[in-house]
Chain A
Amino acid sequence: MMRLSGKLRSAMIIGGQGIRARKLRTLLSMVSLFLGVLAVVVVQAGAGIAERLQLADLELQVGKDGTKALYLPSVTGAGQAVVDTVNGRTDAVGLLTTSAVIGEPQVRPINEGGSPFDQNWGGSSQICDNTGKCYDPNAGRPQGQAIELRITALTGDVRDFRPYRPRSGQWLDFSTTPMLAPRLVLNEEAAKGFERYHVPAEMRVNGANADMTPQFIGVVKDGDSQPHAYVRLDELTNWMPLSRLTDPNSGYSETQVVMAGSTPVEPVLIAKLKGLGAPDVAVETINSRKEMKEQLNLLRMIFLAMAGLVLVIGAAGVLNVGLATVGERVEEFALRRAVGTPRLVLAGIVLAETLLTGLFTAGAAIGVSVAALKAASILLGPSEPFLQGVEFPWSAGVSGVIAGLVAGVLGGFIPAIRAAGIPIATVMRA
């Protein structure tokens, strides 16, 4: 272990003695600094938590950066073109999403419109086709034991592009023979619904020839707050024609293709869609993580600037107290010089006091932040899911310590120079 030099040790010991001798003054300095350091810690912690929450779910929802996404235009035969092009490939996956209801037939679902189970979206759901005609699919039906969810049929394993996190069970296996009873992987919200409500295992999909008996094989986190299920396309098309699944006029459907940054699928698919009469096919490269990070960083900078301002005001308080203290300790500093203390150590004593004050303040601010976050997590966690299990980001603690030290240097620098300049003759003339 590196041993501290005599000068540094002396400065730290005398600084510590100074703090003990002036506890109230140190406390007042800490109070003036506390808000500034707390602001820095809170901004950093808030930004860290927001970034973690936002970025973590963003990748699940829209895909990894660099992934290309193509939304299918409303042209007849587009769905078939997609399936023909991407089927069996690993560098491109088609996602054909529609609505499904699992449970009692001919009833109004518990979460009408596929809403999250703890949020009531209210009113009846309206479906509008691309001609603008809207209707309530559950009009006149009684409330029953059924759950409505979005169901996405996949042509292949999408996890290379959207890294869904397994929670239990298993993911879809595309290497086996398709089964007649479609195997479903639920997201966490859907799993919550099926755990809470016991509904008959009967699934209806808009446009299907008959109701199906689904099998739940696993649960994943997909970043979606609505109930959602994933199924192999070939298991779903056992029960309904592809044309109905991708019917642009159904009002339910949405087809998307996600693919690697450079794949021959892209030009082939675009050419096929243009051949079907699609006027304009847009391919979007996912860059959301970077964009989100930039936005968060901008926000963080704005808030940090404000926190910095509060910190400077706090440092001015420390400076004020420091100057007053040096003024009162002229004889002490002159005497210390007389007994051989170098000017540098005198400056070090004052800086050690303000730095220790800054460190104590940082410790207090970090402690308060950790306790507040813990309390918020315990008290508000049940109603605010983003607060559940949230942990204090220790990078914010490091920022707080740095802020405390910077404020200590800012507040102690001028008093330190003053202290170092006190003439020894002061003790002779006293």
Chain B
Amino acid sequence: MTELIRLTGISKVLKGQKEPRTILDGVDLTVRAGESVAIVGRSGSGKSTLLSVLGLFDRPDSGTYLLEDRDISRLPERHAAQLRSSHFGFVFQRFFLLKHLTAAQNVAMALINGQGWQPRRERKARVMRALEQVGIEHLARNRPAKMSGGEQQRVAIARALVREPRILLADEPTGALDTETGSIVIDALQEATTRGCALILVTHDRDHAARMGRILDLQAGVLSERTLSPAGGPTMVLPQIGGPAA
């Protein structure tokens, strides 16, 4: 599988407090096309910061970030915005749907972002295709207020998928959903990996993490690979990190 992401020695220190706090400490990570990776860890362990660095929301203080063998560690914001548009799709815990827009318009938001221009017909076709992928094309004209939480999150996933990203970053996408609905959402996310998209999922849910190809544990800014024992038994931490799933 093609290597998409390679992080080497990524560190991030939170400044502006009495004492600087290390959030990410020499993180190494490799993600390949079509791979699904779960990042688990306690609250405050740096999961969201890692996702911010991966999604080009934030820059690392040190280390190297290679995206398709291109060093993007110190990328100017203008180019970072281009890459976010062309390579990444984002799903957040809160759905962040704009309530005054329909489901289709919310999805189209990722296409009307100032990065190139598509004719209305082409845009509409892509939006409908994305909604179909998550199974809610019949809700295209509905506004968020008339949709359930699971449906709203699937609209958010469609928004993330509409530009056919290479990497899907999901930050606690099931955090606001019940177990059954959360499972449907994870299904929709995993579906994307069958089309060659890499999925990086930050989650607290053991069951959802277990459905990913790899599980990475972030503790105090240090990333390590682990396997989860069935039914919540003791965890075995593997020494090797960053490689593809065994």
Contact = CB atoms under 8 A, between A and B. Distances in A.
A340 B112 contact: no
Interface string A329-344: 0011001111111111
Given A340-B82, A425-B52, A6 B114 contact: yes
A196 interface: no
B105 to A, nearest CB: 7
Interface size class of A (residues with CB under 8 A): 20 to 34
Interface stretch (A13-21, A371-379, A400-408): A13-21
Given A17-B105, A342-B81, A336 B57 contact: no
Nearest to B116: A6
Given A338-B90, A425-B57, A428-B51, A10 B112 contact: yes
A425 B52 CA distance: 7
A339 B48 CA distance: 17
A165 interface: no
Contacts, number: 92
B113 interface: yes
Interface stretch (B91-99, B187-195, B204-212): B91-99
Interface in A397-423: 423
A133 interface: no
Interface of B is mostly: loop
A156 B163 CA distance: 84
A341 B81 contact: yes
Contacts of B82: 340
A427 interface: yes
Which among A339, A424, A429 has the highest number of chain B CB atoms within 10 Å? Answer: A339
A20 B100 contact: yes
B33 to A, nearest CB: 20
A399 to B, nearest CB: 32
B115 A6 contact: yes
B112 A14 contact: yes
Given A7-B114, A430-B92, A340 B98 contact: no
B18 interface: no
B112 A428 contact: no
Interface string A96-135: 0000000000000000000000000000000000000000
Nearest to B99: A21
B110 interface: yes
A428 B58 CA distance: 11
Which among B52, B58, B113 has the highest number of chain A CB atoms within 10 Å? Answer: B113
A331 B96 contact: yes
A338 B114 contact: no
Contacts of A331: 96
A430 B92 CA distance: 9
Contacts of A7: 114
B108 to A, nearest CB: 9
A340 B52 contact: no
Interface of B: 48, 51-52, 55, 57-58, 77-78, 81-86, 88, 90, 92-94, 96, 98, 100-101, 105, 109-110, 112-117, 159, 163, 171
Interface of A: 5-7, 9-11, 13-14, 17, 20-21, 331-332, 335-345, 348, 423-425, 427-430
8 contacts: A20-B100, A21-B98, A332-B98, A335-B109, A337-B84, A339-B110, A340-B84, A427-B96
| 10 interchain residue pairs of minimum CB distance | A340-B85, A21-B100, A6-B117, A345-B114, A424-B57, A7-B114, A341-B113, A10-B114, A340-B84, A339-B110
